[in-house]
A = this chain, B = another copy of it.
Amino acid sequence: MNIGEAARRSGVSAKMIRWYEARGLLPPAERSEAGYRHYTEADVHALRFVRRARDLGFTVDGIADLLALWRDRSRRSAEVKALATGHIAELRRRIAELEGMVDTLSHLAESCHGDARPECPILADLAGAAPARARAEPARFGKAVAGKPAARRRAAAAAP
């Protein structure tokens, strides 16, 4: 079958199939006289494998590793599991990061009146977490700080 058909059956776009091939994730497909790539059922199967792994958030490199293990019939399931747990840890790290943002923002949003008034703790926090006061145009006050290296995320609500 041609690439379009393989794409339809695997759920991986033709563009991505070519890209994966170029990336070495998949072996170069057989070509017809005219240069058309053609695929077998086994190829479609592999493509579905790739797609599923991709849906689970694996990176291309991770997928390449998984594919290698899949093809290796003498693999040790421990290796597969290690890849999976490592990926789970990475996903959890990202989740925690996003949750930190949500926590901070939710907190700030809660204390924002959300009405016609301009006072807003969200902006106050972004502007420096400095408690109420001076909020003129952004190009005209000089009371800035200057020492500390900046504190990575983690916010404290500040209500004006």
Contacts and interface: CB of A to CB of B under 8 A. Distances in A.
Interface of A: 9-11, 27, 40-46, 48-49, 51-53, 55-57, 66-67, 69-78, 80-82, 84-85, 87-88, 91-92, 94-95, 98-99, 101-102, 104-106, 108-109, 112-120, 122-123, 125-129, 131-133, 135-144, 146, 149-150, 152-153, 155-156, 158-160
Quick one: which of A44, A55, A102 has the most chain B CB within 10 A?
A: A55
Nearest to A44: B144
A10 B131 contact: yes
Copies in the complex: 2
B159 A118 contact: no
Contacts of A42: 138-142, 144, 158-160
A103 to B, nearest CB: 10
Nearest to A112: B81
A78 B123 contact: no
A40 B158 CA distance: 11
Contact of A80 (B76, B91, B122): B122
A77 B115 contact: yes
A79 to B, nearest CB: 9
A128 B45 contact: yes
A10 B66 contact: no
A73 B120 contact: no
